[in-house]
Amino acid sequence: MPRAFARRAALLLFALAACDDFEMVPDPEGAAPDVPMTAVPVDPDPLNELPLPEGLDAEVLSIVDGDTLHARIQGRDERVRYIGIDTPETGGDRGPQPYGAEARERNRALVEGQTVRLVLDAQDRDRYGRILAYVYTPDGSFVNAKLVAEGYARVLTVPPNVRFASVFRELETEARDEERNLWQR
């Protein structure tokens, strides 16, 4: 099975689990104009415009880097670390890494100034006290997945937080195959 087809199939299953929007289209087998309409899923894309899942609302206060933000959650200022992904560093002991600044700017473009939805997995916090979350924008875009798909993040699976690990792996494979951003040769 070609990788792109496998990725789309996995993403379609993910999207269908989260979305029940359907569109009525003519049955492709029928030729007459009075052919009954058939309900088919609208081409759902799990990277855009899904219904928001249940979770915590967080007002984004600032962007730390490509996979971390600072937010107000239930009246408290918190750091939020995106689950399942890792972006290049923008500073630290070894200095900035290639695509670190670009990943931070892409994260900023996706979430800055918005109230995002945080969805937790098996663990609420990491050893540094940061909230661990899958992040969604108000229009339903899945930020963690978008950063991987666009080549700004690598997959970083840390059990037991593995809900979307297979989706992230497929997105990373496609980004690498298409040489997007940090995967450029």
Annotated active-site residue 102? The verdict is no
Distance CA 50, CA 39 (A): 19
Whether 130 is catalytic = yes
Catalytic site residue 163? no
Which one of the listed residues 7, 78, 89, 172 is annotated catalytic? 89
> What one-character-per-residue DSSP string does the chain give?
--HHHHHHHHHHHHHHHH---EEEEE-TT--STTPPEEEEE---BTTB-PPPPS-EEEEEEEEEETTEEEEEETTEEEEEEETTEE---SSSTT-PPTTHHHHHHHHHHHHTTSEEEEE--S-SB-TTSPEEEEEE-TT--BHHHHHHHTTS-EE--BTTB-TTHHHHHHHHHHHHHTT-GGG--
Active-site option among 7, 78, 81, 154:
81
Active-site choice (104, 106, 117, 130)? 130
Give catalytic residues, as residue numbers. Answer: 81, 89, 130
